[in-house]
Amino acid sequence: MSYVNMTMLSNFLKISNSNRPLQRIESIFLLTRRTFSSHGTFDYDLAVIGGGSGGLACAKEAVNHGAKVAVLDYVTPSPLGTKWGLGGTCVNVGCIPKKLMHQAALLGESIHEAVSYGWEVPSPKDIKINWTSLTEAVQNHIKSVNWVTRVDLRDKKIEYINGLGEFKDAHTIVATLKNGSKKELTAKNVVIAVGGRPHYPDIPGALEYCISSDDIFSLSYPPGKTLVVGAGYIGLECAGFLNSLGYSATVLVRSVPLRGFDQQMAQLVTAEMEERGVRFHHKCVPLSVEKLESGQLKARWQNTDTGEQSEDVFDTVLMATGRYALTKALNLPAAGVTVVTESGKISAPTEQTNVGHIFAVGDVLEGRPELTPVAIHAGRLLARRLFAAAPHHMDYDNVATTVFTPLEYGCVGLSEEAAVARLGEDAVEVYHAYYKPTEFFIPQRNIRNCYLKAVAERAPPQQVLGLHFVGPVAGEVIQGFAAAIKCGLTMEQLMNTVGIHPTVAEEFTRLNITKRSGKDPNPASCCS
């Protein structure tokens, strides 16, 4: 029996034994509405501020262990006016619509390639995307997920409050509802799971005329010629699928592409994108965006090395210059939460803030991977610790991820740079290879950027520190190997694993050439 049920049972028995019938009935009624604890009486055992993946996972798991839970969620419209339903970034303006757009782009490529396999299709010049149909299909799916999420909360008897929550004190939250009215509630425990939103650079025209990933998946008009400002994974993914859908894409790179990822792999990703037609301007920062009489946007930018300024006219300018945590609206000082960084993120290594009963999960955490599965797993584990006395904490090491660029990049563990920085160059061995996906034989597709590597300790048994793969279905490839990394995979074990032929995943089992050896990492044939 959960701690909540035991507490309620104990108090129920005390009330039932009372000699005052009226008081007994009134008290039993109140007990169904509020939870009594040693700290006082609260409306809920747990209040979750933020209805994204991490917050919802925590709330549902808490209910499974007998807790009484409320979830507060409110979406402030983007500068363009875009808003969405319950479910957070991933469902509405992140992973899900991004993957659907990526899939649409892959299907377009497949249609063109089908001719080489004997399919009779219309002339390539007649194949084009209907942007309205695409966005309608994507939004219809998202709305169905929004609905299922709300029904799930209702079925689990989790109170959903469509309001912007902020602290009144350490146990009291005030929600501002859509109509402007206020709703006040108290909770024994609070989880902050508000996530983040796109950052806009402080330049003329950014807020007035530009869009972000909050807007692109429901944009009411075809984006046309697009400038993407920023070369993180969001910027590259958007530029990649827009280009593949037939919309010219240009990317401004301030420093390096895919900062925080293995830079050799990042260079392969951008090289592939350039070969497919995406334009890159390196070491460039935006200066201004001006709306012309034609409705188009004139963007100006500057090269930070040379000082040279350039400009061009676009139909759409998409800002992908990072994200900020939505903590300012929470009134954290009222709750006594002080572990907030300059970026607005919360520093809480074990999800617990400096206030013992206030926790945080997901993208709002400082120094943690901004990934939906990370938030979900951390939220569930936190709920189990709070309401089921479970001992397990989230392990943030060796979390796999994939960048869904036209040629995908999947990785788990340390980058080559991080491994060398941690252990020293002489202590690291890198096994690598180029390979030829069978899918690329007919028609003959570019394979110059199909590459993988294993970063390992040089000393026996050569434990694998990181795996990196650029190629088709990278996410599917890297997921299984992520489990092996968690189990302490060594190079000997990897080399003694029999691959499934012909797949691209088997290429990891065939790694045998090290960078240190200087040997040619190109295969002699598909079966070499």
Residues 437, 439, 442, CA angle at the centre, nearest 5°? 115
Q: b or e along 98-107 (b: 16 or more beta carbons within 10 Å of the residue's beta carbon)? A: bbbbbebbbe
**Paired strand residues for 167:** 173
- Among 112, 392, 393, 501, the one annotated catalytic: 501
Question: Which amino acid belongs to residue 208?
Answer: E
Sign of CA dihedral 39, 43, 49, 52: positive
Q: Strand 297-303 vs strand 249-253: parallel, antiparallel, or unpaired?
A: unpaired
282 noted as active-site residue: no
Cβ atoms 191, 263 nearer than 8 A: no
Helix (H, G, I), strand (E, B) or coil at 477: helix
Facing residues of 469 across strands? 410, 452
Exposure string for 406-434, b = 16+ CB within 10 A, e = fewer:
bbbbbbbbbbbebbbeebeeeebbbbbbb
Q: Which residues of 54-80 are buried (b: 16+ CB within 10 A; e: fewer)?
A: bbbbbbbbbbebbbbbbbbbbbeebbb
Nearest to 85 by CA among 132, 165, 141, 155: 141
Query: Alpha carbon of 419 to those of 125, 144, 176, 464, 465: distances in Å?
Result: 47, 43, 47, 10, 7
Residues 6+ apart with CB under 8 A from 15: 24, 27, 28, 31
Amino acid type, 308: E
Helix 95-114 vs helix 131-155: crossing angle, to nearest 10: 140
CA separation for the pair 234, 230 (Å, rounded)? 8
Instruction: Supply 178's token pair.
Output: 């859509």
> Which run of H or of E encompasses 318?
strand 316-319
What DSSP element (H or E) covers 464?
A: strand 464-470
Three-state secondary-structure class, residue 284: strand
Q: Which two tokens stand for residue 9?
A: 């049972």
CA pseudo-torsion sign 302, 305, 308, 314:
negative
Q: Are the C-beta atoms of residues 472 and 504 closer than 8 Å to each other?
A: yes
Do residues 389 and 68 lie in contact, with contact meaning Cβ atoms separated by under 8 Å? no
The CB density around residue 304, as the number of other CB atoms within 10 Å, is: 13
Q: Catalytic site residues? A: 501
